Every structure is written in C-alpha cells, then in structure tokens.
C-alpha cells in the first residue's frame, strides 16, 4: 500500500460515518409509513435501505462534489438517488430466481424478511424514487444539471449498465468467461454506477465533458480495483465480517478476476489500479483527498 497517506484511514472513517448517518436520515424521511395497505411495502424498503452498507456510492458522489465546491444538499440528494438504485439492485439480485441470497448486510434479505412479491415491488419503488429525487429542484436549481443526472443514471443503471451487467453475470454461470469478458461484465455491473458517482460532482458543477477525462479514468480504475477486491473477499473473507455468504462464486464454478489471475496476481493488479486511479487525479490538490482516500480503501477493506 505504498503512497497511502498516514492520516487517510481516520479521515475516511469520519467521512464515511457522517455519510452513513446522513443517508439513513434521508431514507427515514423519504420512507414515512403510509396509513394504508402499502405500509408493508414501505417497511420492506426501510428494511433494505436503512442501517446498512458502507454508503460508498454516496461517499463517492460527495468526494466528486468536493472537487468542484458543490454544496452538501446537492451532493447528499444525488448520493441518495444512487443509493436507491444500488439498494433496489441488491433486493432484486438477492431474489431466489437471481442469486438466491438469504443474508445481506448482516440481515435477512427482503424476500426472506417479507416475501418475494414485496421484494420485487420494494425494488421497483426505490428505482422510481431515485429519479424522483434527481429531478426535484432541491437537487439543483439548474434544470439542465438535473436532466443530465437523470440521463447519466438511467444509462448507468439500465441495459447498457448495471442491469445489463447482471444479465452477463447470470450467463457466466453456464458459459466460461475469459478475462476480457469478466472485465466487461464488471464494468457494466458495478463500474457504470461507480462512474456515475464519480462524475456526479462534475455534472452538478456543469463542468464541460472534455474536462472530465481524468475523473472518468479514475472511476474506471477504481471500479475494477473494487471488484477485484470483492472477488478476493469472496475467496478469503469471513461471512461474519462481510455480512453475506462467501465462497459463492467458486462454488458456482464462475470465472472471477481471482479464478482467472490467481490470488497473488489479482492483489497486485488491484494495487496497481488504485495507484493508477490516484495518478489520474494529479490535476487536483487537497480537494481530491477524499477520492484518494476512497481509492486506498478499495484494497484494504475487510467487507
């Protein structure tokens, strides 16, 4: 972990705690229980969205907003929208027909705590809420900024992004993937949403596209580093710490970065990517500290 600043872990932990609190509070306000038969639906959305996860995506949005002096209110709302998409995707991916997971973030998955129909609808509703949050004028006064956020999020989460990647991941259970295929799959499945987060600050600050190249390169490398680290955790992790089942990919015979490269090479590759990601931020000064801290975190986290 060469190049990591000594105070980075403490600084990141503080930023992460603040974000976890803020996102929980936002979800709590957003998901007030209605006094009718939809209460169970809202309870399921609360179960999935409150009190869990590292909130890394909202933190990336905040880190990206730091670069361009975008205020907290805009950052938190854009971060909340991404987290709605992330949580919706976890609910659907955990379903019996998909990854069939019983545990998530140390709690029963939504279809286990409630039922499958409620889980499908809770995911669908969080999906809509993401867009409702982005178009609200509280996210940004300029309609063009909101439009661009919606455009970018729809691209990142739909068939050309996250959901398309999940489809490729399902295909990986029955056909053998090589390294370029796994890379492409992960770029869609997790990379696209991470890239949205990293670009969100630039969108909110109305930074022209041509000035976002460094950010995009950072997001590309960070996304892959995170996924390699995830694959390493699946092999070496502890279910009690990660809060979900481990060893699943190997059991399913699915190709991963680790199965294709081996543990040692995968770890070296992740470290190289993190170093490279930080290099892409060379045009920025202290305002990019949080983005650098998050990159370091990608390879030293335990869950």
Residue 70, both tokens: 């975008």
* Torsion angle of the four alpha carbons 62, 67, 73, 78, in this order, in degrees rounded to the nearest 10: -50
Is there binding between residue 200 and a copy of itself (CB under 8 A)?
Answer: no
Helix and strand totals (H; E) in the chain: 16, 2
Provide the minimum distance between the beta carbon of 214 and a copy of itself in the complex, in angstroms, as a whole number. Answer: 26
Residue 2, both tokens: 């060469």
Nearer CB in complex with a copy of itself: 143/262: 143
Is there binding between residue 206 and a copy of itself (CB under 8 A)?
Answer: no
Site for a copy of itself in 103-122 (CB under 8 A): 111, 115-121
Is there binding between residue 102 and a copy of itself (CB under 8 A)?
Answer: no
Gap between the Cα atoms of 59 and 217, Å rounded: 18
Nearer CB in complex with a copy of itself: 20/98: 98
Provide the minimum distance between the beta carbon of 240 and a copy of itself in the complex, in angstroms, as a whole number. Answer: 28
Nearer CB in complex with a copy of itself: 112/300: 112
Provide the minimum distance between the beta carbon of 287 and a copy of itself in the complex, in angstroms, as a whole number. Answer: 29
| Residue 83 Cα distances to 123, 173, 183, angstroms | 12, 27, 23
Is there binding between residue 260 and a copy of itself (CB under 8 A)?
Answer: no
Residue with tokens 């705590």: 113
Residue from 1, 14, 97, 179 binding a copy of itself (CB under 8 A): 97
Site for a copy of itself in 34-73 (CB under 8 A): 34, 36-38, 40-42, 45
Provide the minimum distance between the beta carbon of 136 and a copy of itself in the complex, in angstroms, as a whole number. Answer: 7
Measured between its terminal Cα atoms, the distance across the chain in Å is 18
Gap between the Cα atoms of 62 and 79, Å rounded: 7
Site for a copy of itself in 125-164 (CB under 8 A): 125, 127-129, 131-132, 135-136, 143-144, 146-147, 150-151, 154-155, 157-159, 163-164
Provide the minimum distance between the beta carbon of 59 and a copy of itself in the complex, in angstroms, as a whole number. Answer: 23
State how far Cα 282 lies from the chain centre.
24
Nearest in space to 110 (alpha carbons), one of 43, 166, 51, 23: 43
Write a three-state SS string for 221-285. HHHHHHHHHHHHHHHHCCHHHHCCCCCHHHHCCCCCHHHHHCHHHHHHHHHHHHHHHHHCCCCCC
Provide the minimum distance between the beta carbon of 263 and a copy of itself in the complex, in angstroms, as a whole number. Answer: 26
Gap between the Cα atoms of 299 and 29, Å rounded: 33
How many residues lie near a copy of itself (CB under 8 A)?
A: 53
Sign of torsion, CA 171 272 290 300? positive
Nearer CB in complex with a copy of itself: 55/189: 189
Gap between the Cα atoms of 20 and 53, Å rounded: 8
Is there binding between residue 253 and a copy of itself (CB under 8 A)?
Answer: no
Nearer CB in complex with a copy of itself: 73/142: 142
Q: Where do contacts with a copy of itself occur on this chain (CB under 8 A)?
A: 34, 36-38, 40-42, 45, 92, 95, 97-98, 111, 115-121, 123-125, 127-129, 131-132, 135-136, 143-144, 146-147, 150-151, 154-155, 157-159, 163-164, 166-168, 170-172, 175, 181, 184-185
């Amino acid at each position: 972990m060469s190049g990591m600043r000594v105070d980075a872990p403490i600084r990141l932990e503080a930023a992460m705690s603040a974000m976890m609190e803020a996102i929980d509070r936002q979800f709590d306000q957003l998901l007030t229980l209605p006094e009718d038969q939809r209460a169970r639906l809202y309870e399921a959305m609360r179960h999935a969205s409150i009190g869990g996860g590292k909130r890394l995506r909202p933190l990336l949005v905040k880190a990206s907003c730091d670069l361009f002096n975008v205020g907290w209110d805009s950052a938190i709302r854009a971060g909340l929208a991404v987290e709605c998409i992330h949580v919706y995707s976890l609910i659907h991916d955990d379903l019996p027909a998909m990854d069939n997971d019983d545990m998530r973030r140390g709690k029963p998955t939504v279809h286990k705590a409630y039922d499958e129909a409620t889980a499908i609808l809770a995911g669908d509703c969080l999906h809509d809420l993401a867009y409702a949050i982005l178009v609200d004028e509280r996210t940004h006064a300029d309609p063009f900024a909101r439009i661009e956020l919606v455009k970018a999020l729809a691209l990142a989460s739909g068939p050309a992004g996250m959901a398309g990647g999940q489809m490729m991941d399902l295909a990986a259970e029955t056909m053998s993937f090589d390294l370029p295929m796994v890379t492409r799959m992960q770029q869609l499945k997790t990379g696209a949403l991470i890239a949205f987060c990293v670009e969100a600050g630039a969108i909110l600050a109305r930074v022209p596209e041509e000035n976002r190249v460094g950010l995009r390169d950072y997001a590309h490398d960070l996304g892959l580093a995170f996924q390699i680290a995830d694959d390493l955790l699946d092999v070496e992790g502890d279910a009690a710490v990660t809060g979900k089942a481990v060893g699943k990919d190997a059991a399913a015979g699915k190709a991963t970065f680790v199965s294709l490269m081996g543990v040692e090479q995968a770890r070296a590759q992740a470290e190289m990517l993190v170093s490279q990601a930080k290099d892409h931020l060379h045009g920025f000064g202290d305002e990019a500290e949080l983005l650098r801290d998050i990159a370091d975190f990608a390879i030293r986290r335990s869950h």
